[in-house]
Amino acid sequence: MQVIYIAPLKAIVRERMNDWKKRLVSQLGKEMVEMTGDYTPDMMALLSADIIISTPEKWDGISRNWHSRSYVTKVGLMILDEIHLLGADRGPILEVIVSRMRYISSQTERAVRFVGLSTALANAGDLADWLGVGEIGIFNFKPSVRPVPLEVHIQGTEYYDGKAKRYVDFPITDILQMMGRAGRPQFDQHGKAVILVHEPKKSFYKKFLYEPFPVESSLRERLHDHINAEIVSSTICHKEDAVHYLTWTYLFRRLTVNPAYYGLESTDSEIISSYLSRLVQNTFEDLEDSGCIKMSDDIVEPMMLGSIASQYYLSYMTVSMFGSNIGPDTSLEVFLHILSAASEYNELPVRHNEENYNEALSERVRYMVDKNRLDDPHVKANLLFQGLWFDEDSNFWMLPSMNVDLASSLNKRGISNVQQLLDLPKATFQTVVGNSPASRLNQDLQHFPIVQVRLKLQKRDTDGAKSPTLTIRLEKINFKRNKSRAFTPRFPKVKVEAWWLVLGNTSTSDLYALKRISFSDRLVTHMELPSTLGSLQVFNS
């Protein structure tokens, strides 16, 4: 059995890792791994882990393909920290991962226990019912009952919104989150939170800071991407499947308790059923218009764009925009404009007066941007892409001991890449590089990954029903490799070595398959070829 702990912030994940390493890893010998946007462990680490500590987005992306990931179905305990964030912007992700784990539990007939940690809630019973927690398992204390006393001074709650170009109020959930950092039992004996606020809003904040906080579902506004993910994973194949899927959500629980909040007049079963059917139908139509799914009567099938959106955790609107605007003749400049227009960059923070820095950067990059929109998050994304662009860097910089003088000297001798260095005879290498740098550079080359690739084609069935499959055997043939860490000096944290397998036709520029893998010494994997390909032969060198 595995334990999955979900925390809303990378900082909390890191804090929990440091704390539990002392308590659970050192003292009890448990295996624990971290999953955040900065760090993704390899498959073997996930399979052997007793405890996985993750952000909601990472677990959502991982658990979408639960059919092929055994460690997802091995989870027996899920702990959700800050579960009151269900009503916030990231609430739909929390709601979906809990709903999915409950659904997986019903399909595999393996019980999953849920533990939700939260601020005081006005409707804790509804949340507990959704999690399958009985009345005996509910502990809902007043906000004033804290392990560390917290002194609150209400005085201001605004921040600068770059998109709106004005100061706006922080969400209540964010304020509660920040207040919680002021009184942590392992660090503090007393906490103090000073909240600056406009006088007319003071009573409003007092109510929610000193009384239990109601939590509603915000899944409706983000339903498209999650429905698309379930269609891609074959959890949803018909309209009825989608309606049934929604019955596992917190949204369904709240529809029956607080219908007015969701625009319903009553809790009559026919009204709720009709509402869910309309919600599913509208979602299906939007996904079909975007090219993510194909509908035939009530049957739905994923399309390539939908699979890409689910696999790479992209919005359905983003992949639709990519599909409509990117073609074989798209220039790099246009591609950068399209990429930076993705909806994922809507929330990229543009701080007050930051347009001055963006203007200075715009004078130094290769491609022009709209100077009238320097306070736009998408323009900022474009500038950052160009500012960090590396297409002119030599691949020599993959070697830790490489420096500017040595790279320049090698280029003058006609050596411009790592492969040429690897092919040099030992005597020539010593002459070209020199004695002192040679020893360090030779050590780098001994650790440079050299992979032997063997291919085997499994032909299609005689009736053509099954597509041909390519079996790929990979083996590292230099055993001095560091088996896990990649050399990434520009990245602030440790990165695990990973590889991309790209299968395509160099003559036609057709892409057949794309797969990300990681392995220590050897790996056998498979890639499916299009059934439309003609006769195939495989040659191993």
Secondary structure letter of residue 24 according to DSSP? I
Contact 93, 60 (CB under 8 A): yes
Whole-number Å distance between alpha carbons of 88 and 170: 11
pLDDT bracket for residue 274 (50, 70, 90): very high
3-state secondary structure of 39: coil
Whether 467 shows a pLDDT value over 70: the answer reads: yes
Residue type at 265 in one-letter notation: E
Indicate if the pLDDT at residue 506 is higher than 60: yes
Average pLDDT of the chain is 84
Given this model, what pLDDT does residue 392 score? 66
Which pLDDT score, from 0 to 100, does residue 477 have?
Answer: 83
Q: How far apart (Å, rounded) are the C-alpha atoms in residues 286 and 251?
A: 20
Pairing of strands 166-169, 191-196: unpaired
Torsion (CA) 13, 14, 19, 23 in degrees, nearest 10: 70
- Reported confidence tier of residue 479, pLDDT bands at 50, 70, 90: low
pLDDT tens digit sequence for 14-47: 889 988 998 888 888 899 999 987 777 777 788 8
Q: Are 209 and 120 in contact (CB under 8 A)?
A: no
With the C-alpha atoms ordered 517, 519, 522, 523, is the resulting torsion angle positive or negative?
Answer: negative
DSSP element (H, E) containing 12: helix 10-20
Question: What are the C-alpha distances in Å from 338 to residues 146, 287, 324, 327, 520?
Answer: 49, 20, 10, 11, 36
For residue 535, pLDDT over 70 is answered with no
8-state DSSP, 87: G
Does 179 score more than 60 pLDDT? yes
pLDDT value at 272 more than 90: yes
Q: What is the mean pLDDT of residues 267-291?
A: 94
pLDDT tens sequence across 208-263: 666 666 788 999 989 999 999 999 999 999 999 999 999 999 999 999 989 998 98
Say what the pLDDT of residue 121 is. Answer: 78
Mean local confidence (pLDDT), 41-56: 88
Average the pLDDT over 287-316 and give the result: 92
Rounded distance, CA 23 to CA 34, Å?
16
**DSSP E strand boundaries for 364-508:** 451-458, 469-476, 499-505
Is the predicted pLDDT of residue 197 greater than 90, yes or no? no
3 has pLDDT over 90: yes
Name 277's Cβ contacts closer than 8 Å, sequence gap at least 6. Answer: 239, 243
